[in-house]
Amino acid sequence: YSIIGQPNLHYLKPTIDSLAKQTFKDFEVILVDALHGQKKPYDFSNLSFPIKHIPIHPNHRFWLDMKRWNVCGTLNTGIIHAEGELIVRIDDCSEFEPDFLQRFWDGYQSDYFPLAMHIRYLGGKPARLNKEYREEGYEAKHSESFEKEEKLKTLKRIYGEEGLIRDSRYPVVKERGGRMIGPNNWYYGYSSASLEALLKINGYDELFDGVKSLEDVDAGSRLTMAGYGGKFLLDVDHQVIEHEHKPIPENLITKETKPIKCNYAIYLLNQIKKRF
C-alpha cells in the first residue's frame, strides 16, 4: 500500500531511514511480513543494523489465512525470534528522531516500560482536521472504527476544527507536566516491555485476532496483573510521526462487514479470570 499524498515513497523507507540514524546502536529489527512471505519487500542490503525478515509462523496465522486481522499472531511471531532484552513495537510508515530508541532504553534502565505517542502526517506535513483531511485522511475516509454517518462528528469532537490529528493521550500527559505513568489501558501503539515480561504473560492473546481491537490494551492489563503495573511511562518529547497510508490490500485483509465476536468481552474475561 502507499503513503497518502506521497505515492512514490515506499511505506518502509521512513522507518528504515529513521532506524539508520539512531544514536542507540545496540538493536536488531525483526520485520514480520504478512504479505510477501520469503520475498523481501525492500532492499535491506548495506544497512547499518541487523534485520530479520520473517514470514508469520504457521501456528500464528489462523485468521490471516481467512483474510482477517491477525495482529497478535504477527506480534507473537516477532517475540519468538527476538534475542534482545527489551522489545519495542514499531509500525511501518513511521518516522522518528535519532534519540527515539535511546529514550526507550533509558526509561527501561530506570525500571519503566516507555510508550511513545504519535502525531499523524498527511502528504508530508502534520495532519489537521480540515477540508484536505476530510477528503483524504485515513480516519475520515477509510477507518471502520466509527459509524459512517457519525465519523466526521466524532473526529471533530476528538481533535477539534483545524486540530492536529495526534495521540489522544498527548494533551493529558502535557497537562500533567509533560511526563507521567499511564494506566494499563493506555498500553498501545509504540509500546515497549521486557522480553521476560512478555514471555511471562505468554505474549499477546491470539483470541483477539479475527478482528482488530483491544489486543494491546489487553496486553497492558495482563502485564499489570503479572506485576508490571506502574511502569508505562509517557513523555511529550517521546513522539513518532505516522504517515497516513492507504488501506491494507484486500487480498490480505478483507474489509469487515460485521463483527464476528466481541473483543471487549474477552478483555473483561481475562481480567476476571486473572489470565496472564
Taking only the tens place, the pLDDT of each residue in 158-217 is 899 999 999 999 999 999 999 999 999 999 999 999 999 999 999 999 999 998 899 999
Q: Which of 197, 195, 238 is nearest to 220 (CA)?
A: 197
> Residue 134: exposed, middle, or buried by beta-carbon count in 10 A (0-12, 13-18, 19+)?
middle
Q: What is the mean pLDDT of residues 209-234?
A: 96
Q: What's the pLDDT at 271? A: 95
Q: Where are the domains of the chain?
A: 13-127+164-272
Q: Give residue-wise pLDDT tens across range 108-139.
A: 999 999 999 999 999 999 999 999 999 889 88
**Alpha-carbon gap, residue 199 to 192, rounded angstroms:** 13
Contact yes or no for 6/124 (Cβ under 8 A): yes
Say what the pTM is: 0.92
Q: Give residue-wise pLDDT tens across range 134-145.
A: 988 988 887 766
> Is 13-127+164-272 CATH 3.90.550.10?
yes
Largest CA distance in the chain: 49
> Residue 61: exposed, middle, or buried by beta-carbon count in 10 A (0-12, 13-18, 19+)?
middle
**Is the per-residue pLDDT at 256 higher than 70?**
no
pLDDT band at 1 (very low <50, low <70, confident <90, very high): confident
CA atoms within 13 A on the CB side of 147: 3
Q: What's the pLDDT at 236? A: 98
Contact yes or no for 242/121 (Cβ under 8 A): yes
Q: What's the pLDDT at 94? A: 97
Nearest-Å Rg of the Cα atoms of the chain is 18
Q: Which of 164, 74, 154 is nearest to 118 (CA)?
A: 164
